[in-house]
Amino acid sequence: MSSRKRVLVVGGTGYLGQHLLQGFSEIQGTPFEYDLVFTYHSNLPQPLLDALPHLLPFHVDLKTGQGFDGISRSFGQPDVVVNCAALSVPRVCEMDPAAALSVNVPSSLVDWLSNFKEGNTLLIHLSTDQVYEGVKSFYKEEDETVPVNVYGKSKVAAEQFVSKKCLNFAILRSSIIFGPQTISPVPKSLPIQ
């Protein structure tokens, strides 16, 4: 049995996903041996492929689950999945709540993972501090979730879904994510880059 771990980044062409892929690529060759692949939905940016040519991309539609079978055939069961994919622009979520739920609640991803006989894949699911109502400066994990927008509501639904359906998971609630520009610029504007 190989000691190499298989890591899948879902949403690898987004802001956080690209930084995660780049970070993983920079630690390649260290004692942590792994194979890394990623998913994309609408476009596969050439600058990302040029900068990280050793990574294998997979086209996946999170609404339908189409594309996960290709990962199974070519890559097998991942040991770790980091779910960075989201419909994360609040005004877009407000305009289309059904789309926000269908993308942000990772039902097709979790269904795909449940098909593997060994159910030991670690799912790291990215959530948001928008699950809170925003009246306090700092929130604790135990604080009640009271989202005030569709995006926050969809992320609460996602957290509940992952908690109910997965045995091996971690949910990370981020606040504002900002930093340097990605390898391939993302289409949505960020407050600080």
Give residue-wise pLDDT tens across range 90-107: 899 999 999 999 999 999
C-alpha closest to that of 35 among 25, 47, 49: 25
Q: What is the mean pLDDT of residues 12-33?
A: 82
Kind and range of the H or E run holding 91: helix 90-95
CA distance 101 to 143: 23
Please tell me whether the overall predicted TM-score, pTM, comes out greater than 0.85 for this model.
Answer: yes
Give residue-wise pLDDT tens across range 126-173: 999 999 998 888 888 899 999 999 999 999 999 999 999 999 999 999
pLDDT at 190 over 70: no
pLDDT, position 136: 85
Q: Could you list the beta-strand ranges (E) of the chain.
A: 5-10, 34-40, 56-59, 80-83, 122-128, 169-174
CA distance 193 to 150: 25
Cβ neighbors of 193 (< 8 A, separation 6 or more) are: 178, 179, 180, 181
CB 162 within 8 A of CB 123: yes
CA distance 17 to 24: 11
Give residue-wise pLDDT tens across range 69-81: 999 999 999 999 9
Q: Which residues have a catalytic role annotated?
A: 151
pLDDT, position 193: 37
Average pLDDT, the chain: 89
Q: Is 134 left (phi over 0), alpha (psi -120 to 50) or beta?
A: left
The packing angle between helices 150-165 and 107-114, to 10°, is: 10
